[in-house]
Amino acid sequence: MKDVVDLIDAEVWPEGSLEVLSQFEVDQLKNDGAGGLYPMLRRCMLAVLHADSKIDDTRELLDAYKNFEVGFIQQDRGLKVSLTNAPAEAFVDGKMIRGTRELLFAVLRDIVFTRNDIIEGGRFDLDTSDGITNAVFHIVRNARMLDIPAEVNLVVCWGGHAISRREYDYSKLVGYELGLRALNVCTGCGPGAMKGPMKGATIAHAKQRIRGGRYIGITEPGIIAAESPNPIVNSLVIMPDMEKRLEAFTRLGHGIIVFPGGVGTAEEILYLLGVLLHPDNQRQPMPFIMTGPASSESYFRQIDEFVAATLGDEARSRYQIIIDDPGEVARQMSVRLKDVLDFRTKHGDAYYFNWRLRVDREFQKPFVATHETMRGLDISEDLPSHVLAANLRRVFSGIVSGNVREDTAELIERIGPFEIDGSQRMMKLLDKLLAGFVADRRMKISTGAYHPCYVIK
């Protein structure tokens, strides 16, 4: 927990993302009432300033910095942001670290753009699949993430923030091997397995004299305070919700590597498998590798057994598991990215955004975890595999929300844990997997004993 002496007041000019706002936009950002943007802005900016945090409980972080405030100063030269009682680790000798300043104004840019151009602008039909994909494209384009001319070299790395030191060091080794092969890295931008690959890649890029290395972070307001963006990220985008965040990963990335994690990582795995299992995506190449050190083999065995028992062998055929061999992970990814390049070239698809990938509406519709929605999920064997994957993904999404979102945690404290119900066989499999996560301490890092936010019926 931070002491009051670790706070600082500052005024900061924008860095590279947003220099001018209208008076209407500034008023939106100042408004802390219903429909105002200030609470979201404050939470996201605090997360950026509190990088490398060991706190993954949003309420704990907000309470530790309850006197933190953000203000705006309009001047002829543009907008200046004032910070009161900000975390001191974001500054060196009273001056904000440049990378932190870039991320701070990326938050401001995305919150304003999403509210005014995406949600309220009327240009996007967010009730249709194509409309949602178009919105995702415009958000990432506005964030300057679409490199032109593009290359097929962006590897998405998923994994947990609450991982062991050995797992973290292994993720750095994989990132290093990727960087030596001139591959770039995209993660959820937080600590742990989201930071390790970026850190390894930066060293490899320096050795290869690659000065334009890309370390992309994709997050959303509900989890950003629990997974504060790490300072290596040089391109950050705040998506409006988890579903658009996941779609951005799959459309921007050319291949995916999964490191050990917990329920959030399981959610990502089920999302990707559900998308790839759709009949329209059967021929779509998407390199998908799960990897970790020898000590993590049991984690991937649990995941593999769960996928086999719920989604079947077709789902298992979409990924490979490589244990304790960072070089082989990078070699396999590099080789298989050539298949992605050939496929995109043959079909005239863009290298920078995967328009051809079919993402069903069931994977795009924002899922708000409540006792009613969690209880109403259909988890049974007679569903098509990609539909079952969508519903299982929602189960894990709800548990993530209960673990890290302050509004969901308060709901559970008031009413009790979520009830998850389904066929007896499915519930037995789900209970076994979740119990394994709890036993391996893969749920949270801020607390001692984990108290589940759910019960399996």
pLDDT tens readout for residues 84-140: 999 988 899 888 998 899 999 899 899 999 999 999 888 899 999 999 999 999 999
Nearest CA to 37 among 130, 109, 126, 139? 109
With b for 16 or more beta-carbon neighbours within 10 A and e for fewer, the 236-249 pattern comes to bbbbbbbbbbbbbb
CB 267, CB 393: distance < 8 Å = yes
pLDDT for 180 equals 98
- Average pLDDT over the chain reads 90
Q: Where are the beta strands (DSSP E) in 53-187?
A: 69-75, 78-87, 91-92, 95-96, 154-158, 184-187
Name the residue with higher pLDDT: 406 or 184: 184
User: What percentage of the chain carries pLDDT values higher than 70?
Assistant: 94
| 447 pLDDT above the threshold of 60 | no
Can you name the CATH fold of 4-123? MCP/YpsA-like (3.30.1850)
Report for 19-23, 100-104, 222-226: range of highest mean pLDDT: 100-104
CA angle (151, 184, 297) in 5-degree steps: 125
Q: Does the pLDDT at position 266 exceed 70?
A: yes
User: Domain extents for the chain?
Assistant: 4-123, 124-457
| Length of the chain (residues) | 457
Residue 393's SS3 state is helix
Mean pLDDT within 333-358: 96
Residue 330 amino acid letter: A
- pLDDT per residue over 408-438, tens digit each? 989 999 999 999 999 999 999 999 999 988 8
| Distance from C-alpha of 419 to C-alpha of 423, rounded to nearest angstrom | 13
- CATH topology of 4-123 equal to that of 124-457? no
Residue 322 corresponds to which amino acid? I
Q: Which CATH architecture has domain 124-457?
A: 3-Layer(aba) Sandwich (3.40)
- The whole-number pLDDT of residue 168 equals 96
pLDDT on residue 141: 96
